[in-house]
Amino acid sequence: SCRLSQVPTMTQTTTTVTLTRQSGFQFLIDFGLDTPALLSDEPAPLGQGDGPAPNHLLLASVANCLSASLVFALGKFKQDPE
Protein backbone atom coordinates (compact mmCIF):
# COMPACT_ATOMS: atom_id res chain seq x y z
CA SER A 1 0.00 0.00 0.00
CA CYS A 2 0.97 3.62 -0.45
CA ARG A 3 0.10 6.44 1.94
CA LEU A 4 0.07 10.08 0.91
CA SER A 5 -0.39 12.95 3.36
CA GLN A 6 -0.99 16.65 2.92
CA VAL A 7 0.99 18.94 5.21
CA PRO A 8 -1.35 20.66 7.68
CA THR A 9 -1.90 24.42 7.56
CA MET A 10 -3.11 26.75 10.31
CA THR A 11 -6.75 26.06 9.43
CA GLN A 12 -6.56 22.45 8.28
CA THR A 13 -5.52 19.18 9.85
CA THR A 14 -3.45 16.53 8.11
CA THR A 15 -5.21 14.78 5.24
CA THR A 16 -4.19 11.21 4.46
CA VAL A 17 -5.16 8.96 1.56
CA THR A 18 -4.06 5.31 1.48
CA LEU A 19 -3.98 3.21 -1.70
CA THR A 20 -3.84 -0.57 -1.41
CA ARG A 21 -3.30 -2.72 -4.48
CA GLN A 22 -6.07 -5.29 -4.79
CA SER A 23 -4.94 -7.09 -7.95
CA GLY A 24 -3.54 -6.16 -11.33
CA PHE A 25 -4.17 -2.44 -11.77
CA GLN A 26 -6.96 -2.24 -9.17
CA PHE A 27 -6.35 -0.06 -6.13
CA LEU A 28 -8.58 0.49 -3.13
CA ILE A 29 -8.46 4.17 -2.17
CA ASP A 30 -9.09 4.83 1.53
CA PHE A 31 -9.74 8.46 2.41
CA GLY A 32 -9.92 7.76 6.12
CA LEU A 33 -12.73 9.86 7.59
CA ASP A 34 -16.23 8.43 7.30
CA THR A 35 -16.02 8.24 3.52
CA PRO A 36 -16.46 4.84 1.85
CA ALA A 37 -13.36 3.48 0.12
CA LEU A 38 -13.25 3.74 -3.67
CA LEU A 39 -11.94 1.13 -6.12
CA SER A 40 -9.98 2.48 -9.09
CA ASP A 41 -9.05 0.34 -12.05
CA GLU A 42 -7.61 0.74 -15.50
CA PRO A 43 -9.78 -0.20 -18.47
CA ALA A 44 -8.95 -3.29 -20.53
CA PRO A 45 -6.46 -4.46 -21.64
CA LEU A 46 -4.47 -3.34 -18.56
CA GLY A 47 -7.25 -3.74 -16.00
CA GLN A 48 -10.80 -4.97 -15.73
CA GLY A 49 -12.53 -1.56 -15.79
CA ASP A 50 -14.22 -2.30 -12.43
CA GLY A 51 -13.87 1.29 -11.23
CA PRO A 52 -12.98 4.74 -12.51
CA ALA A 53 -9.54 5.02 -14.10
CA PRO A 54 -7.01 7.30 -12.38
CA ASN A 55 -7.18 9.84 -15.22
CA HIS A 56 -10.97 10.04 -14.78
CA LEU A 57 -10.54 10.60 -11.05
CA LEU A 58 -8.05 13.40 -11.72
CA LEU A 59 -10.38 15.03 -14.26
CA ALA A 60 -13.31 14.77 -11.82
CA SER A 61 -11.17 16.32 -9.05
CA VAL A 62 -10.19 19.30 -11.18
CA ALA A 63 -13.77 19.78 -12.44
CA ASN A 64 -15.12 19.60 -8.88
CA CYS A 65 -12.56 22.12 -7.63
CA LEU A 66 -13.32 24.58 -10.44
CA SER A 67 -17.07 24.16 -9.99
CA ALA A 68 -16.86 24.70 -6.23
CA SER A 69 -14.77 27.83 -6.82
CA LEU A 70 -17.38 29.15 -9.26
CA VAL A 71 -20.23 28.46 -6.82
CA PHE A 72 -18.26 30.23 -4.07
CA ALA A 73 -17.58 33.26 -6.29
CA LEU A 74 -21.21 33.48 -7.40
CA GLY A 75 -22.31 33.33 -3.77
CA LYS A 76 -19.98 36.22 -2.87
CA PHE A 77 -21.78 38.32 -5.48
CA LYS A 78 -25.19 37.06 -4.32
CA GLN A 79 -25.81 35.24 -7.60
CA ASP A 80 -27.78 32.00 -7.78
CA PRO A 81 -25.50 29.25 -9.17
CA GLU A 82 -28.50 27.48 -10.71
pLDDT in tens, the chain (82 residues): 777 777 666 666 777 899 999 999 999 999 888 889 999 999 999 999 999 999 999 999 999 999 999 999 999 888 887 7
Q: Is the pTM of this model over 0.85?
A: no
CA 28 to chain centre: 12
CB neighbour list of residue 1: distance below 8 Å, 6 or more residues apart? 18, 19, 20, 21
- Give pLDDT, residue 69: 92
- Give pLDDT, residue 8: 64
- Give pLDDT, residue 74: 92
Three-state SS letters, the chain = CEEEEECCCCCCCCEEEEEEEEECCEEEEECCCCCCCEEECCCCCCCCCCCCCHHHHHHHHHHHHHHHHHHHHHHHCCCCCC
